[in-house]
């Protein structure tokens, strides 16, 4: 379907063009009026058919995403594979009240400049109703001005940044890492009864937010990290950082980096026989981390907004069944579960929008998203959005690695209030 | 402080092995092989594919195949580079950048950008000696480095090929006049370099894991070790590796790990200012 705006841009505007056109303008206007009248008579719902991303005749809604299919992190595209599998499975089972979802994923190579171009193409050429599980933090931040100018709903972008949370049209599931580090520290203090906490953090937005959250939370308990030591994202050997942690007499270490960094740190700790409790971010609670670490991962805790991939919950069991049918080469894990939950959130809200009987517009979709209160979306629990507060995930579970599996050590609990309130500001 | 120095020595041994591979080629042909890391990484990936990556070969057979394949690749690369080497050393050096990219491309094509685990087939044993935790891995790295360096120096010192290598690296023209085959000497240095590279890569990946970039990144530190050693001194680069390993570890522990790359550059500048010809160079005089 082509929008009127797109036609408008094709009409010649120069005086020369107008001069030539002027001779037959009356004739042209007459023909145009006749065509328009004909179209109106064919369908009385011309207004509805022009809704972006909505094909009323075929009962189809188009949604899209940019994803790093090529570039430095092609495995992140697993997120979008899982979302796609969710939609395809849903369509085969009858869709959302008879509505089918068409999911269009385009490659941005994990380059924020490309993400913007791809989003523009998705909106202006593919004519989408919403972005669902658009991939990456920096890439999602890059499209904020454009998507905001279009008021395009961005559902569950897989990026964790306060800038995303602050947008009225974006509905992230990923929490600010400040909340995860605070939740980890709370568990270490209150459940494990450990006082001396060290932090090893990746020297970028991920690590900086974790440091902010940890320091803020510990300050509220009149404590401070025994040591905090950073590393560059390209670092492959964390021996020096572990030596610093060991020298600080810490009992607990929070490591905010990738699964390769966690594996390297666990190895380094083993080499100097340092023993302590470990906490890592949710996305490292993945079978791929076990492949790198082996048994060293046993006992590591993960503060996570997603239930583990081994969970018995029906939606997670469905994820384990469905994704291999469409993407047999994809590993089952946190990335896929993330995309599965994103697609689930969209379907939940779209279903609610159809049931409300309101027009299927961007504005109404955003309004419906703002009414979600304590819903379960895939592997995420008690997801809530309200106008002016898009901290979708408001609590996390504590997951523990044990004998090659990930089990829930503590059920979902609200984030520490002092950090949760600060993030909202 | 002792554990920090110990870890530095172990890592430094690996830098030494990497640096020796770079220096072997530089000594014989006056060019820097920037593909050294990527080619060594290719060898490590071959071992991974034949063992943990699915084929389940015995470790020794996999290493033998990887070494043979690396030798073959290095001979092929040398014959690609040789005509350029006759044009100029710089042209050949730049060509190695391209070869490194091709090697990295092959890794990405076959294995993607994922990270893999490749452990040495060693039992997980450690002991505490004077309060220092020493693992079997640490001891293996030390012993293998000592053995490899020992054999290398014996070959260069005692064998006919080694003597030819020394003669050609000291004065290629005089060597040619005396009837030495420069191509043979070059091939000798490329093959030894390939073997050193694969051994270094296999020893480093248990701590850094294996990806398309890990061995190349590691070789940058080895490059620093070679520079500190003077780039044309084999004993100098071996000592340079240990100095870089210990220096980097001490700096990371006492100052700031995030400034490690800056430290490395300052370390190179300082070392070159004090010892322009490398740490083991003799002070040369000149007559006016």
Banded pLDDT at A6 (limits 50, 70, 90): very low
Asked if the model's pLDDT at residue A156 lies above 50, the reply is: yes
pLDDT digits (tens, 9 = 90+) for A310-357: 888 999 999 999 999 999 988 898 999 999 999 999 999 999 999 999
Element (H, E) at B135: strand B132-135
Length of chain B: 288
Asked if the model's pLDDT at residue A23 lies above 70, the reply is: no
Banded pLDDT at A130 (limits 50, 70, 90): very high
Q: ipTM score here?
A: 0.79
Q: In angstroms, what separates the C-alpha of A286 from chain B's closest C-alpha?
A: 14
SS3 of residue A330 by DSSP: coil
CB–CB of B44/B103 below 8 Å?
no
B2-274 fold: ABC transporter involved in vitamin B12 uptake, BtuC (1.10.3470)
Tell whether B277 is within 8 A of chain A (Cβ): no
Record: contact A75-B218, CB cut-off 8 A: no
Strands B132-135 and B126-129: antiparallel
pLDDT digits (tens, 9 = 90+) for B63-82: 999 999 999 999 999 999 99
- Rounded mean pLDDT of A404-419? 91
CB–CB of A422/A216 below 8 Å?
yes
Asked if the model's pLDDT at residue B83 lies above 80, the reply is: yes
Q: In angstroms, what separates the C-alpha of B240 from chain A's closest C-alpha?
A: 19
Asked if the model's pLDDT at residue B239 lies above 80, the reply is: yes
Tell whether B208 is within 8 A of chain A (Cβ): yes
- Number of helices and strands (H, E) in chain B? 11, 2
Q: What is the distance between the alpha carbons of residues A118 and A140, in angstroms, rounded to a whole number? A: 12
Residues of chain B contacting residue A270, judged by C-beta atoms under 8 Å apart: 124, 135
Tell whether B29 is within 8 A of chain A (Cβ): no
Asked if the model's pLDDT at residue A75 lies above 70, the reply is: yes
Q: What is the distance between the alpha carbons of residues A385 and B147, in angstroms, rounded to a whole number? A: 64
Q: What is the distance between the alpha carbons of residues B42 and B76, in angstroms, rounded to a whole number? A: 14
Taking CA–CA distances from B116, the nearest residue in chain A reads: A292
Q: Residue B209 has what pLDDT?
A: 87
Record: contact B211-A231, CB cut-off 8 A: no
Q: Residue A386 has what pLDDT?
A: 92
Q: Residue A39 has what pLDDT?
A: 44
Q: In angstroms, what separates the C-alpha of A232 from chain B's closest C-alpha?
A: 6
E-only strand ranges, A257-350: 277-281, 301-304
Q: What is the distance between the alpha carbons of residues B164 and B171, in angstroms, rounded to a whole number? A: 11
From residue A305, alpha-carbon distances to A52, A174, A183, A252 in Å are 32, 8, 11, 21
Phi, psi of B195 (to 5 degrees): -65, -45
- Rounded mean pLDDT of A296-320? 93
Closest by Cβ to A243, choosing from B4, B206, B214: B4
98-157 of B, contacting A, C-beta below 8 A: 112-117, 124, 126, 128, 133, 135, 137-138
Q: Residue B178 has what pLDDT?
A: 83
**So where are chain B's domains?**
2-274
Record: contact A260-B115, CB cut-off 8 A: yes
- Give A274's DSSP letter: -
Closest by Cβ to A260, choosing from B4, B112, B209: B209
Q: What is the distance between the alpha carbons of residues A98 and A86, in angstroms, rounded to a whole number? A: 16
Share of chain B above pLDDT 70, in %: 97
CB–CB of A77/A135 below 8 Å?
yes
Residues of chain A contacting residue B213, judged by C-beta atoms under 8 Å apart: 234
Q: Residue B275 has what pLDDT?
A: 82
Closest by Cβ to B252, choosing from A240, A260, A264: A240
CB–CB of A252/A192 below 8 Å?
yes
Q: Which two tokens stand for residue A253?
A: 């270490």
Record: contact A241-B252, CB cut-off 8 A: yes
Q: Which two tokens stand for residue A169?
A: 């049209």
Tell whether B262 is within 8 A of chain A (Cβ): no
Asked if the model's pLDDT at residue A25 lies above 70, the reply is: no
Residues of chain A contacting residue B261, judged by C-beta atoms under 8 Å apart: 232
Residues of chain A contacting residue B253, judged by C-beta atoms under 8 Å apart: 240, 243-244, 247
Closest by Cβ to A241, choosing from B128, B133, B257: B257
- Burial label, A264 (beta-carbon count in 10 A; 0-12, 13-18, 19+): buried
Q: Residue B207 has what pLDDT?
A: 85
Residue written as token pair 């890059």 = A142
Residues of chain A contacting residue B217, judged by C-beta atoms under 8 Å apart: 234, 236
Mean pLDDT value across chain B: 88
Strands A60-67 and A54-55: antiparallel
Q: What is the distance between the alpha carbons of residues A304 and A408, in angstroms, rounded to a whole number? A: 10
Q: What is the distance between the alpha carbons of residues B236 and B218, in angstroms, rounded to a whole number? A: 19
CB–CB of B117/B209 below 8 Å?
yes
- Rounded mean pLDDT of A68-78? 81
Asked if the model's pLDDT at residue A32 lies above 60, the reply is: no
Q: What is the distance between the alpha carbons of residues B10 and B242, in angstroms, rounded to a whole number? A: 8
- Per the model's pLDDT, the better-predicted residue between A48 and B219 turns out to be B219
Single out the residue of B95, B92, B114 nearest to residue A335, CA to CA: B114
Q: What is the distance between the alpha carbons of residues A107 and A67, in angstroms, rounded to a whole number? A: 5
Share of chain A above pLDDT 90, in %: 64
- Give B111's DSSP letter: H
Crossing angle of helices A205-220 and A417-424, rounded to 10°: 130
Closest by Cβ to B133, choosing from A72, A229, A273: A273
Asked if the model's pLDDT at residue B256 lies above 80, the reply is: yes
Q: What is the distance between the alpha carbons of residues A13 and A15, in angstroms, rounded to a whole number? A: 7
Q: How many CB pairs under 8 A join A and B?
A: 87
- CA torsion, ordered B147, B153, B155, B156, to nearest 10 deg: 160
Q: In angstroms, what separates the C-alpha of B23 from chain A's closest C-alpha?
A: 24
Q: Residue A29 has what pLDDT?
A: 45
**Global pTM value:** 0.79
Mean pLDDT value across chain A: 86
Q: What is the distance between the alpha carbons of residues B61 and B58, in angstroms, rounded to a whole number? A: 5
Residues of chain B contacting residue A201, judged by C-beta atoms under 8 Å apart: none
- Rounded mean pLDDT of B169-176? 82
- Per the model's pLDDT, the better-predicted residue between A160 and A201 turns out to be A201
Record: contact A268-B206, CB cut-off 8 A: no
Q: What is the distance between the alpha carbons of residues A156 and A177, in angstroms, rounded to a whole number? A: 16
Record: contact B117-A292, CB cut-off 8 A: yes
Record: contact A74-B133, CB cut-off 8 A: no
- Candidates B207, B221, B244, B251, partner chain A, best to mutate (most A CBs within 10 A): B207
CB–CB of B152/A114 below 8 Å?
no
pLDDT digits (tens, 9 = 90+) for B97-146: 999 999 989 998 888 777 888 988 888 888 888 778 888 999 999 999 99
- CA torsion, ordered A147, A149, A152, A154, to nearest 10 deg: 40
Q: What is the distance between the alpha carbons of residues A85 and A73, in angstroms, rounded to a whole number? A: 20
Share of chain B above pLDDT 90, in %: 45
Q: What is the distance between the alpha carbons of residues A279 and A254, in angstroms, rounded to a whole number? A: 5
Q: What is the distance between the alpha carbons of residues B123 and A124, in angstroms, rounded to a whole number? A: 60
Record: contact A236-B3, CB cut-off 8 A: no
Question: Which DSSP string corresponds to A113-153?
Answer: HHHHHHHHHHHHTS--SEEES-B-HHHHHHTHHHHHHHT--
**What residues of chain A have any CB closer than 8 angstroms to a CB in chain B?**
72-75, 203, 229-232, 234-237, 239-241, 243-244, 247, 259-260, 263-264, 267-268, 270-273, 288, 291-294
Residues of chain B contacting residue A259, judged by C-beta atoms under 8 Å apart: 115
Q: What is the distance between the alpha carbons of residues B193 and B3, in angstroms, rounded to a whole number? A: 31
Q: Residue A40 has what pLDDT?
A: 43
pLDDT digits (tens, 9 = 90+) for A87-109: 999 999 999 999 999 999 999 98
């Amino acid at each position: 379907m082509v929008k009127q705006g797109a036609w408008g841009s094709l009409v010649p505007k120069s005086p020369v063009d107008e001069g030539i056109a002027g001779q037959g303008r009356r004739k042209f206007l007459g023909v145009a009026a006749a065509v328009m009248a004909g179209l109106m008579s064919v369908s009385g719902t011309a207004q509805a058919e022009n809704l972006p991303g909505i094909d009323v005749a075929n009962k189809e809604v188009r949604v899209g995403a940019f994803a790093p299919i090529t570039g430095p992190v092609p495995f992140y595209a697993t997120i979008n594979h899982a979302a796609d599998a969710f939609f395809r499975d849903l369509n085969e089972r009858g869709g959302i009240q008879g509505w089918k979802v068409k999911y269009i994923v385009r490659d941005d190579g994990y380059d924020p400049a490309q993400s913007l171009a791809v989003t523009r193409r998705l909106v202006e050429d593919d004519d989408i109703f919403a972005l669902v599980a658009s991939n990456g933090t920096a890439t999602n931040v890059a499209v904020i001005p454009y998507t905001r100018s279009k008021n395009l709903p961005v559902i569950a972008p897989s990026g964790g940044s306060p800038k995303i949370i602050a947008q009225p049209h974006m509905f992230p599931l990923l929490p600010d890492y400040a909340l995860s580090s605070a939740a980890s520290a709370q568990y270490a203090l209150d459940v494990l009864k450990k006082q001396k906490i060290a932090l090893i953090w990746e020297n970028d937005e991920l690590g900086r937010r974790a440091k902010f959250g940890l320091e803020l939370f510990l300050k509220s308990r009149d404590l401070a990290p025994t040591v905090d030591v950073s590393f560059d994202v390209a670092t492959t050997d964390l021996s020096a950082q572990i030596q610093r942690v060991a020298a600080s007499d810490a009992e607990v270490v929070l490591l905010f980096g990738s699964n390769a960094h966690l594996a390297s740190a666990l190895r380094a700790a083993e080499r100097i026989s340092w023993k302590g409790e470990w906490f890592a971010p949710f996305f490292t609670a993945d079978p791929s981390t076990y492949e790198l670490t082996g048994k060293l991962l046993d006992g590591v805790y993960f503060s996570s907004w997603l239930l583990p991939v081994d969970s018995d919950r029906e939606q997670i069991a469905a994820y384990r069944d469905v994704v291999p049918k469409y993407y047999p080469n994809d590993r089952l894990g946190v990335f896929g579960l993330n995309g599965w939950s994103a697609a689930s959130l969209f379907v939940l809200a779209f279903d609610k929008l159809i049931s409300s009987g309101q027009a299927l517009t961007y504005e109404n979709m955003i309004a419906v998203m703002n009414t979600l209160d304590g819903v379960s979306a895939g592997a995420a629990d008690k997801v809530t959005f309200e106008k002016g507060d898009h901290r979708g995930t408001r609590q996390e579970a504590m997951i523990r690695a044990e004998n090659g599996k990930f089990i829930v050590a503590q059920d979902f609990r609200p984030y520490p209030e002092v950090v949760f309130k600060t993030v909202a500001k | 402080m002792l554990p920090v120095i110990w870890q530095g020595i172990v890592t430094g041994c690996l830098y030494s092995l990497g640096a020796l591979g770079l220096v072997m080629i530089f000594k014989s042909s006056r060019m820097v092989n920037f593909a050294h890391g990527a080619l060594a990484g290719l060898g490590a990936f071959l071992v991974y594919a034949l063992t943990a990556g699915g084929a389940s070969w015995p470790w020794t057979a996999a290493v033998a195949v990887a070494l043979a394949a690396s030798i073959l690749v290095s001979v092929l690369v040398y014959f690609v580079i040789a005509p350029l080497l006759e044009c100029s050393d710089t042209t050949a050096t730049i060509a190695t950048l391209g070869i490194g990219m091709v090697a990295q491309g092959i890794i990405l094509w076959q294995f993607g950008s994922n990270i893999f685990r490749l452990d040495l087939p060693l039992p997980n044993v450690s002991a505490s000696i004077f309060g220092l935790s020493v693992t079997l891995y640490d001891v293996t790295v030390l012993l293998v480095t000592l053995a490899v360096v020992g054999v290398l120096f014996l070959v260069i010192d005692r064998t006919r090929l080694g003597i030819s290598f020394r003669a050609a690296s000291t004065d290629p023209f005089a060597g040619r006049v005396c009837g030495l085959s420069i191509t043979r000497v070059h091939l000798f240095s490329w093959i030894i370099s390939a073997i050193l590279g694969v051994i270094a890569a296999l020893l480093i990946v248990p701590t850094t894991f294996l990806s398309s970039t890990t061995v190349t990144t590691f070789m940058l530190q080895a490059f620093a070790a070679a520079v500190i050693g003077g780039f044309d001194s084999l004993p100098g680069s071996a000592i340079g590796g240990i100095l870089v390993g210990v220096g980097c570890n001490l700096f990371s522990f006492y100052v700031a790990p995030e400034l490690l790359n800056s430290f490395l550059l300052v370390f190179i500048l300082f070392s070159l200012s004090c010892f322009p010809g490398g740490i083991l160079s003799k002070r040369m005089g000149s007559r006016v």
